[in-house]
Amino acid sequence: MSFLSAIEFSAQITLPIFMVVVLGYLLYRSGFLTDAFVQVGSKLVFSIALPTLIFLKIIELDWQSAVNGEIVLFAVLATLVCFALCWWLASILGIALYDKGVFVQGACRSNLGIIGLALCVNAYGDDGLGIAALLLALVTALYNVVSIIVLSVPMQQMATVDSLSKQRIDVKVLCLGIVKNPLIISICLALIYSLLSLRLPTWVQSSAENIAAITLPLALLCIGASVDLKVLRSSSSVSLLAAAIKLLFMPLLLTLAAYAVGFRSVELGVMCLLFASPTAAVSFVMVKGIGGNASMAANILVLTTVCSLVTTSIALFILRLLGIA
């Protein structure tokens, strides 16, 4: 593919997504969107729209032909390796215990459900969405479990004997939150539904598709409205390092690894986009819930969300120029 064609391809995928994010930002700053709208909209996406979208995509999968065990295994191993490497790096650099878990989660946890999914849909249509939904179903649960570990262990190391039991209670609450997570529930129900080979009534299918259709535009508007550029001024060197790892080093290493083991075309492109997506917004919620450095978590979230416009465009441009995805 020519240089100009590759630029056009990457722009067609990333710009529509981030223009909606920018629109959300401008509408909020102008007062058209309010905090109440963002709160209700985000809750609607998280609790109803996104679980519905993922449920529909999972039950539509042809598990005998569409599910690639190799891509699932690679995604799981890549996630674990990513967390392990960042944990090791945090230890080597001597990052404070209060910041260690926040750094690791911020550098590893991708926004698969919104930005990643939107990028995959724009780039590869239903084929990309099917693979992304499968990986989202499996990796989301893994993200939650590993994130609890990397956040709670440093906090426990800091805790005194008296406060340790309280910290354990907090971890139990977080674990219960995972079980009650609408996305996790939706994934489990969809997997059961698929195994039983059930079919939705036509009217239910149509209603669910209408609900699912609002997921990405509403979520992107809420993300844009939630971005506070002032936060960038207070970004620490640790936040900047986490953002650089999230958007540059990990996507590069993991995409090269995926290419080396033989992934090509849509599969390679989807994995690259998922790895290169900004840090998930729920990472901030988990840090705040466990009593960690919420300010750093917010910094990483804003940094990666804003800068991912450039990095994902570059990633798509390179893949297209090389003709491998």
Q: What are the structural domains, with CATH classification, of the chain?
A: 3-318 (1.20.1530)
Let me know: does 144 contact 178? Beta carbons within 8 Å: yes
pTM of the model: 0.81
Q: How is residue 95 annotated by DSSP?
A: -
Q: What is the model's pLDDT at position 165?
A: 46
pLDDT in the model for residue 304:
93
In angstroms, the Cα distances linking 84 to 76, 136, 150 are 12, 20, 10
- Dihedral (C-alpha) 63, 66, 71, 76: value to the nearest 10 degrees? -40
Of 237, 269, 238, 233, the residue nearest 254 (C-alpha) = 269
Both tokens of 2, joined, read: 């020519």
Query: Could you give the angle at the alpha carbon of 132 between the alpha carbons of 131 and 133, nearest 5°?
Result: 90
Partner residues linked to 279 by β-bridges: 110
The DSSP bridge partners found for residue 218 are none
Q: What angle do CA 134, 213, 314 make, to 5 degrees?
A: 60
According to DSSP, the residues that pair with 177 across neighbouring strands are: none
A 10 A CB-CB count for 27 gives: 16
Residue 126 is predicted with a pLDDT of: 80
pLDDT of residue 173: 60
pLDDT at position 172, please?
67
Contact 148/173 with Cβ under 8 angstroms?
Answer: no
Is residue 1 classed as helix, strand or coil in its secondary structure? coil
Task: Assess contact for 76 and 138: CB atoms under 8 A.
Answer: yes
Kindly list the averaged pLDDT for each block of 10 residues, start to end, along the chain of length 325.
76 86 92 90 84 85 69 94 96 92 95 87 85 82 84 74 46 66 82 86 94 88 82 81 96 95 92 92 74 83 89 92 87
Q: What is the pLDDT of residue 66?
A: 57
CB 28 within 8 A of CB 38: yes
